[in-house]
């Protein structure tokens, strides 16, 4: 009888890594590598900002660990983000020692100055608007140079989401949601679709792959529906994109003057909502992966 593969999942106590570890446990021996135990398998402690991980016995490594957010420029949080997303990647690749590595990146690496109505993997990786995008781009360069498979999802959502939904709710004021510019179409990625891709990708040719739901979504209607499903009814109002970018620049400038403070509004946040961003997933589909979950599936299961 053939032994099941041993899959090391970094960041398994987090949102994406937890879903990957849970899905992997159905057919593999799972090792959760990170600061805290994951939802399945054995725990191997690792501080990505300081240590080389112990990957002994692993057949495949899926790297989901990352520092996320939108820290103020020059802040300690930005320095930690680099220590985890770039230096931590170098330590992980050193420990992997030639094992297959699937590195979960982000569509935030793509150049926001270029048209993104249909983004393929050869879209320029440059000009990122915040530390998260810059450090993910630097980390994935290391991974690609080492022969890893790099996945680029966009706006990952699903059960247990600790990022997108809380940020969205925080923008609601007196039943109003103010959005930059006119309605646009955006790619989103169900966390289950990302987990499926991460578990299949160890057998794909090295390189970068976009991962998203099968169809893009209309921004305004989608945000209204997501909030309504979670018990918040809103009216969407639009503001000029230029005014939103100016407000974001002012907020970033203010954050620089107050070390340790959070950026109330960033150019990155404005950019992610003001422009159409649709990922072409043809390359991943050609490897046999297909998105099986949609936003409809997620909303049908939500209980406010």
Residue 13: its pLDDT value, please? 95
Tens digit of each residue's pLDDT (9 = 90 or more) over 77-101: 899 999 999 999 999 999 999 899 9
Please tell me which residue, 221 or 266, carries the higher pLDDT value: 221
Tens digit of each residue's pLDDT (9 = 90 or more) over 36-59: 999 999 999 999 999 999 999 999
Residues across the chain: 304
CA distance 165 to 236: 16
Residue 259: its pLDDT value, please? 63
Please tell me which residue, 280 or 69, carries the higher pLDDT value: 280
Residue 262: its pLDDT value, please? 64
Domains of the chain, each with CATH number or no CATH: 6-295 (3.40.50.720)
Would you say residue 304 has pLDDT above 70? no
Percent of the chain predicted with pLDDT > 70: 96
CA 163 from centroid of its chain's CA atoms: 10
Please tell me which residue, 163 or 180, carries the higher pLDDT value: 180
| E strand intervals along the chain | 6-10, 29-34, 42-45, 60-63, 101-104, 149-153, 156-157, 172-173, 176-180, 185-186, 189-190, 207-211, 217-218, 235-239
Would you say residue 144 has pLDDT above 70? yes
Query: Mean pLDDT over residues 236-248, rounded?
Result: 90
Would you say residue 184 has pLDDT above 90? yes
Assess contact for 11 and 61: CB atoms under 8 A.
no
Residue 289: its pLDDT value, please? 98
157 DSSP 8-state letter: E
Collapsing DSSP states into helix, strand and coil, what is residue 292? Answer: coil
Residue 215: its pLDDT value, please? 97
Tens digit of each residue's pLDDT (9 = 90 or more) over 246-274: 888 888 888 777 766 567 688 899 999 99
CA angle 34, 130, 35 (to 5 degrees): 10
Query: Mean pLDDT over residues 156-163, rounded?
Result: 92
Residue 298: its pLDDT value, please? 95
Mean pLDDT of the chain: 93
Residue 129: its pLDDT value, please? 92
With tokens 């593969």, the residue in question is: 5
Query: Mean pLDDT over residues 144-171, rounded?
Result: 93
């Amino acid at each position: 009888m053939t032994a099941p593969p041993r899959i090391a999942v970094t960041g398994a106590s987090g949102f994406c890594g937890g879903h990957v570890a849970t899905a992997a446990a159905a057919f593999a021996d799972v090792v959760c590598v990170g600061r805290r135990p994951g939802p399945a398998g054995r725990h191997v402690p690792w501080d990505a900002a300081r240590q080389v991980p112990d990957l002994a016995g692993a057949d495949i490594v899926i790297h989901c660990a990352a520092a996320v957010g939108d820290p103020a420029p020059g802040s300690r949080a930005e320095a930690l983000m680099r220590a985890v997303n770039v230096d931590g990647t170098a330590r992980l690749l050193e420990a992997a020692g030639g094992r297959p590595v699937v590195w979960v990146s982000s569509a935030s690496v793509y150049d926001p100055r270029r048209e993104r109505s249909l983004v393929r993997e050869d879209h320029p990786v440059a000009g990122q608007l915040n530390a998260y995008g810059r450090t993910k781009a630097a980390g994935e360069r290391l991974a690609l140079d080492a022969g890893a498979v790099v996945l680029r999802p966009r706006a990952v959502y699903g059960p247990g989401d600790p990022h997108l939904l809380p940020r969205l709710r925080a923008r609601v004021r007196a039943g109003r949601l103010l959005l930059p510019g006119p309605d646009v179409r955006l790619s989103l990625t169900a966390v289950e679709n990302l987990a499926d891709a991460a578990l299949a990708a160890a057998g794909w040719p090295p390189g970068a792959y976009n991962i998203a739901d099968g169809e893009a979504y209309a921004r305004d209607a989608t945000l209204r529906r997501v909030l309504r499903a979670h018990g918040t009814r809103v009216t969407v109002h639009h503001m000029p994109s230029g005014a939103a970018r100016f407000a974001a620049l002012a907020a970033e400038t203010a954050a620089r003057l107050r070390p340790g403070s959070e950026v109330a509004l960033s150019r990155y946040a404005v950019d992610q909502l003001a422009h159409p961003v649709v990922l072409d997933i043809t390359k991943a589909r050609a490897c046999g992966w297909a998105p099986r979950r949609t936003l409809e599936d997620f909303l049908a299961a939500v209980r406010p």
